[in-house]
Structure 1
Amino acid sequence: MELLKNWLPIRLWQQAGDWRVDWCWFGERKLVQPFFCDAVDEALRLPFNQAFRRETPLAALSEWRTPAVAPSAFIYHASRCGSTLLSQMLVQLDDHIVISEPPALDSLLRAALDADERRAALRGLLAAYGQRRRGGERALVIKLDAWNIGELPLLRECFPDTPWLFVYRDPLEIAVSHWRRAGMHMVPGMIGASCLDTPGQDDSREDYIAARLGRLFQLAQEHCRAFGGLPVNYHELPLALEAHLGECFGLDARQRRQALAVTGQHAKQPDQAFVPDSEDKHREASERLKERVGFWADAPYQALERLRQASAPR
């Protein structure tokens, strides 16, 4: 696997019943884009990657030997809730590797694989992402896809001591965002079968969005209780990074100041200024959407809020 140093896994797929890994050469380029897919798109335009490609069997991941940074934190989230802001704050730190929603990790977590094979591949995948490609990296933060909250126990089997948090916000505000422009998990059939599938969600589009949000919040509060996750509400960001979140990520005072320097920018569109939109979303929500979000998501949201408040620093 030394031959693939500075290459990162970008895709997993099945071919004739066997799982394969697609790799892309990144060299020493730091990943600064809001999402891993953005970094992949940019890297694939390099002349080298247009001329040379690599693919390996899945087993190659378990043979990874390059020294790597172990995962230092996992970020789970409810989508459209500030998790990208948080990851973009951490990207500012030179010694941090931040991998945001890598498709290969989602595929591996949700694939029908033997338990031992999956664990070996997961460890290898994150070792590949944790390569010290620039030399000074000491932390690896992985932001997962929103629906991966259902697969959290699988990742905990491999990394039981890695801190993790769940970022969320008022479910109506999330619902309005998906009503405007639906994320992948809010489009029927887009991500296939998942932990978010819920009886009754197909009654209407409002039900579909609200029911899946409710399921997300339910799984999050159950896993936070069972596995010691830290609930983080959107309204705590970004200043929480100066306090308990900074401790969670192991940041010193200089790093906290450095991370906070980008908070005036839009996390997903860094060339634009951030404008708060919570009030606009509440005004925009239809009465039907408000009612269905209340029915499906309010109780698990309030349960998560109680858990957050009970665990808040005093």
Structure 2
Amino acid sequence: MERLNLEGWLPIRVWQPTAEWQVDWCWFGDAPLHQPFFREAVEERLRLPFNQAFRRQTPLSALVDWQAGRPGLAPSAFIFHASRCGSTLISQMLARLDNHIVVSEPPPLDALLRSDLPASARRAAIAGLLSAYGQQRRGVEQRLVIKLDAWNIGELALLRELYPQTPWLFVYREPLEIAVSHLRRPGMHMVPGMIGASVLDDGLPFEGQENYIARRLGRLLETGLAQCREWAGLAVNYSELPDAMAGHLADFFALEGGQRQQVFAAAGQHAKQPSQVFVGDGADKQREASALLREQVEQWAREPYAALERLRQA
């Protein structure tokens, strides 16, 4: 495929059907990414007759060719998180800004970060992928923000190799409230075997859902803490949101004066269900937590959470 034919197309899947990796592309044109998650934007675009009639598939090398030919914006910030803790609220607030491209948990990035590609090929493919996401499809975009999957905190070092100057933050929350959320509706990384090998694995046997969720959450917080210490990440507690987007987070994302007010148009909405009004649920989750869940969270997740709080407040 000629380079010109990829303008306005975004990579929606990378996979390895045989020996050679492949990339699926979807036509977005100048449509912005306003949905809470990238996969939701993809589902919406795939319903268009054009995308149902015309598919684009290339070798993985097309991503490298893209960056070499006409690179898009480089990432201006990375958002890492402990899941169910406000990271989607941050990304949705930024998505309100016309000059921001916000790509939230794109599956192709996770696939490449945790792939078994040779190191040089993996780095080149990731750089090409993010360059494709950084296309200035409407001509006004100036910043590219990437929100990663929760477990990708384990791959931070690889992204630091590629983008050593790009600032990043780690969002977290009172662990009992995160655990209750996953007990209600488990995320992919809280279901045994769902996401494959990751930094969350501890080698211990499954001993019930409460134990498993608490252990995985503890690993998430421990890894986030270690990465913040090693790579100078900004620790952000859910309790600071959304107000911090008018203060130190506005500085972190380099928001201008008018943008600091504009982002709050999304603050009253439920981040994952924009049609609903956001209502804080921390007290409800605290009441809902069982004695067993409290015990497991105290055992596995309380210490790294407390250490993150000390780091944040230092």
Question: Shorter-chain-normalised TM-score: which range?
Answer: over 0.9
Q: Deviations over 1:272-294 (max 9, x none)?
A: 11111101101100000000000
Aligned to 1:192: 196
Aligned to 1:212: 216
Task: Give TM-score, length-normalised by structure 2.
Answer: 0.97
Match of 2:187 among 183, 188, 193: 183
> Hey, what's the Cα distance between the residues in 2 that align with 1:218 and 1:277?
24
In structure 2, what residue type is equivalent to 1:174?
I
Task: Give TM-score, length-normalised by structure 1.
Answer: 0.97
* 1:97–1:137 Cα contact (<8 Å) kept: yes
> Hey, what's the Cα distance between the residues in 2 that align with 1:56 and 1:296?
44
Indicate the larger mover: 280-289 or 56-65.
56-65
In structure 2, what residue type is equivalent to 1:87?
S
Aligned to 1:90: 94
Alpha-carbon distance, 1:67 to partner: 3.8
Aligned to 2:297: 293
Describe the SS at the equivalent of 1:63.
Answer: helix
Q: Does 1:124 align with 2:151?
A: no
In structure 2, what residue type is equivalent to 1:51?
A
Aligned to 1:140: 144
> Hey, what's the Cα distance between the residues in 2 that align with 1:205 and 1:271?
31
> Hey, what's the Cα distance between the residues in 2 that align with 1:267 and 1:218?
26
Q: Does 1:253 align with 2:257?
A: yes
Alpha-carbon distance, 1:66 to partner: 2.5
* 1:2–1:66 Cα contact (<8 Å) kept: no
Q: Deviations over 1:160-210 (max 9, x none)?
A: 110000011000000000000000000111101111011336122111100
> Hey, what's the Cα distance between the residues in 1 that align with 2:192 and 2:173?
23
Alpha-carbon distance, 1:113 to partner: 0.9
Aligned to 1:160: 164
Q: Does 1:262 align with 2:261?
A: no
Indicate the larger mover: 123-132 or 12-21.
12-21
Q: Deviations over 1:88-130 (max 9, x none)?
A: 0000000000000000000000000111001111110000000
* 2:71–2:132 Cα contact (<8 Å) kept: no
Match of 2:22 among 20, 34, 37: 20
Structure 2 unaligned segments of length 5 or more: list them.
none
In structure 2, what residue type is equivalent to 1:72?
S
> Hey, what's the Cα distance between the residues in 2 that align with 1:269 and 1:171?
22
* 2:94–2:102 Cα contact (<8 Å) kept: yes
Q: Deviations over 1:2-56 (max 9, x none)?
A: 2200100000111212211110010000110000000000000111101111111
Aligned to 2:177: 173
In structure 2, what residue type is equivalent to 1:115?
A
In structure 2, what residue type is equivalent to 1:40?
V
Describe the SS at the equivalent of 1:261.
Answer: helix
Match of 1:48 among 36, 45, 50: 50
> Hey, what's the Cα distance between the residues in 2 that align with 1:301 and 1:273?
29
Structure 1 unaligned segments of length 5 or more: list them.
none
Aligned to 1:76: 80
Aligned to 2:38: 36
Aligned to 1:227: 231
Q: Percent identity?
A: 65
In structure 2, what residue type is equivalent to 1:114?
P
Output the aligned Cα RMSD. 0.8
* 1:201–1:212 Cα contact (<8 Å) kept: no
> Hey, what's the Cα distance between the residues in 2 that align with 1:181 and 1:88?
21
> Hey, what's the Cα distance between the residues in 2 that align with 1:119 and 1:94?
29
